[in-house]
C-alpha cells in the first residue's frame, strides 16, 4: 500500500496546485512535499524489514536500491518545497508548485517500477515536467536553455530506447515472448544466458542515453545552461536528484551486463566516462565566471566520480558511489538554495559581482563557504568519506593508474572551486543595505549541511546496513 500512496501524494499535489493560487497553492505544495518525505521514509523502513515491497502485480517494486533513491528524492523535494514560495511571487504560483510536484512524481516513478519500459517513460517524463521550470523566468537565456535541455535529453532518451529494445530482443530471442520480459527481476534471473555481444551493444546505447540525463561528458552540454537558468529550488532538484535518477537507470542495467558479459566490460566504460567527465569539468571550473554554472560543472565532476566508483566495482566502490550520490545531493541542495539567496541580494549570478560575502551577508556567506568546502570533499563532511571509499576501491582493485589520474583531476577541480570561493567570500564587504530576508540562511540549507556532517563523522543507525543492501543489488 505504501508504494501507491508514495506516488499518489505528489501527483495529487500537482493536480491541486495547478487549480489553486496564492497561499492555498503554497500550502498544497508544502503538504505534498511533507507527505512524500514521510511516505519515502516509511517505504525505507518497510524495505529494510521485508527486503522488497511490491504493488499492482509487481509493476511497482521497491528494493533497497529503490528505497535509497526514493529517500533522496523525498528529502531534496522537501528542501525545494521549503524554498519555493520565495520564487512563486514572480509568476503564477500554481504553475510552479504544480510542475515541481509533477517533476517529483516522475522521478519517484522512475525508481519504483520493476518494468524497464515504464522506467524509460518516467525518465522522459522528468524532462517534460522540468523543461517548463527551466524557462520559468521567461528570459531569452532561459528559453534557449530549456530548448537545449529538451532537445539533447530527448535525443539521449531515444538512444536509451534503442538500448532497451536490444535488451528486449536478446531476452525474447533466447526465451520467447513473455509478459514480464522487461521486468528487472526477470532480466536478472535470465542474464547469465543472454547473448553477451548483444547485451554489450545494448549497454553502450544505454550508457549514452541515460548518461545524457545524468550529465556525463560528453553528453553533458545541456546541464550548465539548464541549471544556471532554472530557479534555485528547481536547480537543487535537477542537480541533487535528477542526475542521480539517470545514474540509477545505468545501475539497474549494470548487474545484467555483468552477469551476461562479465564485469570488465561495464567497468571499463564507466571508468573511462568517469575520468572524462571529471577532466572536462575541472577545466571549466577554472574558467566559469557565473557561480551557478560553476556549480553545474561541479555536478558533472561528481557524477564522474560516481561512475569511477562503479567502474572500480566491488563492495567499496559501489557503496562509495551510492553514498556519493546522496552526499552530492545534500551539498548541491544547500549550495543552489544559498546561490538563489545570493543572486537575489546582489542582483547577479556573476562571480565578479559578488565580493566580501562573509562581511556583507555573514549568515548566507558562512553557510555558502561551508557548503563549498563540503563540495570540495574536505572533512568533516560526507563527500570526503565517499571519495575515500571510491579511490580506496580503485587501489584495492589494482586500478592504480585510473585511481591516480582521478586523484590528480580531483586536485585540479578542488583548486578551481577554491579559487572561485575565495573570490566571492573574501574582500571588502558590500555597503548596500541588505534586507532581513536576504541575511537569513535557508533552514533547508542548514539541514542539508547538518546531514553532511553526520555522514562525515558518525553514521546514524541503519545507514551502513541500508548502504550495504543497496550496493549488493548492483554488485552481488
- Express each pLDDT in 327-379 by its tens digit: 999 999 999 999 999 998 888 889 988 988 998 888 999 999 999 999 999 99
Residue 89: predicted pLDDT:
66
* Positions of the chain with pLDDT lower than 50, given as ranges: none
Question: What is the rounded CA–CA span in Å between residue 234 and residue 239?
Answer: 8
For residues 40 and 74, the answer to whether their CB atoms sit within 8 Å is: yes
Report CA Rg, the chain. 21
Predicted confidence at residue 177, as pLDDT, reads 61
Q: 157 vs 184, 226, 267, 353, CA distance in Å?
A: 19, 17, 22, 38
| Predicted pLDDT at 179 | 63
Cell output for 271: 571508468
The model carries a pTM of 0.96
The predicted structure's pLDDT at residue 429: 75
Task: Check: CB of residue 148 under 8 Å from CB of residue 226.
Answer: yes
pLDDT the model gives residue 178: 66
d(CA 445, CA 311): 31
Dist CA 145 CA 150 (whole Å): 9
Q: How far is CA 284 from the centre of its chain?
A: 20
Compute φ and ψ for 433, nearest 5 degrees: -80, 100
Give the whole-angstrom CA distance, residue 133 versus residue 222: 14
Amino acid at each position: 500500500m505504501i508504494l501507491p500512496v508514495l506516488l499518489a501524494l505528489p501527483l495529487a499535489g500537482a493536480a491541486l496546485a495547478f487549480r489553486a493560487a496564492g497561499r492555498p497553492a503554497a500550502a498544497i505544495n508544502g503538504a505534498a512535499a511533507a507527505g512524500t518525505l514521510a511516505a519515502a521514509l516509511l517505504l525505507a523502513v518497510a524495505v529494510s524489514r521485508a527486503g522488497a515491497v511490491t504493488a499492482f502485480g509487481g509493476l511497482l517494486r521497491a528494493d533497497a536500491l529503490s528505497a535509497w533513491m526514493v529517500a533522496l528524492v523525498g528529502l531534496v523535494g522537501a528542501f525545494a518545497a521549503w524554498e519555493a514560495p520565495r520564487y512563486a511571487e514572480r509568476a503564477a504560483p500554481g504553475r510552479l508548485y504544480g510542475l515541481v510536484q509533477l517533476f517529483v512524481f516522475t522521478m519517484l516513478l522512475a525508481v519504483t517500477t520493476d518494468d524497464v519500459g515504464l522506467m524509460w517513460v518516467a525518465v522522459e517524463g522528468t524532462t517534460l515536467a522540468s523543461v517548463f521550470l527551466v524557462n520559468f523566468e521567461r528570459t531569452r537565456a532561459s528559453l534557449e536553455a530549456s530548448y537545449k535541455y529538451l532537445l539533447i535529453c530527448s535525443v539521449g532518451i531515444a538512444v536509451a530506447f534503442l538500448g532497451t529494445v536490444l535488451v528486449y530482443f536478446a531476452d525474447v530471442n533466447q526465451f520467447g515472448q513473455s509478459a514480464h520480459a522487461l521486468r528487472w527481476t526477470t532480466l536478472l534471473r535470465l542474464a547469465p544466458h543472454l547473448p553477451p555481444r548483444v547485451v554489450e551493444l545494448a549497454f553502450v546505447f544505454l550508457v549514452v542515453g541515460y548518461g545524457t540525463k545524468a550529465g556525463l561528458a560528453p553528453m553533458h552540454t545541456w546541464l550548465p545552461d539548464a541549471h544556471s537558468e532554472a530557479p534555485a529550488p528547481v536547480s537543487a532538484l535537477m542537480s541533487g536528484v535528477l542526475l542521480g535518477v539517470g545514474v540509477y537507470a545505468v545501475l539497474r542495467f549494470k548487474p545484467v551486463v555483468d552477469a551476461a558479459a562479465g564485469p570488465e566490460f561495464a567497468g571499463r566504460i564507466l571508468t573511462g566516462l568517469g575520468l572524462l567527465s571529471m577532466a572536462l569539468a575541472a577545466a571549466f571550473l577554472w574558467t566559469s565566471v557565473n557561480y551557478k554554472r560553476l556549480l553545474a560543472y561541479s555536478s558533472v565532476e561528481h557524477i564522474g566520480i560516481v561512475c569511477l566508483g562503479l567502474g572500480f566495482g566491488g563492495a567499496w566502490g559501489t557503496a562509495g558511489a551510492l553514498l556519493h550520490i546522496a552526499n552530492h545531493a545534500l551539498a548541491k541542495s544547500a549550495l543552489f538554495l544559498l546561490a538563489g539567496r545570493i543572486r537575489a541580494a546582489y542582483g547577479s549570478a556573476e562571480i565578479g559581482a559578488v565580493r566580501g560575502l562573509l562581511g556583507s551577508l555573514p549568515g548566507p556567506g558562512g553557510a555558502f563557504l561551508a557548503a563549498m568546502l563540503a563540495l570540495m570533499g574536505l572533512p568533516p563532511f560526507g563527500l570526503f568519506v565517499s571519495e575515500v571509499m571510491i579511490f580506496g576501491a580503485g587501489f584495492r582493485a589494482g586500478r592504480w593508474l585510473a585511481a591516480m589520474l582521478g586523484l590528480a583531476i580531483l586536485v585540479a577541480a578542488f583548486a578551481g572551486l577554491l579559487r572561485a570561493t575565495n573570490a566571492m567570500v573574501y574582500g571588502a564587504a558590500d555597503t548596500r543595505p541588505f534586507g532581513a530576508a536576504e541575511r537569513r540562511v535557508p533552514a533547508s540549507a542548514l539541514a542539508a549541511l547538518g546531514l553532511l556532517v553526520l555522514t562525515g563523522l558518525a553514521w546514524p543507525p541503519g545507514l551502513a546496513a541500508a548502504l550495504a543492501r543497496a550496493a549488493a543489488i548492483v554488485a552481488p
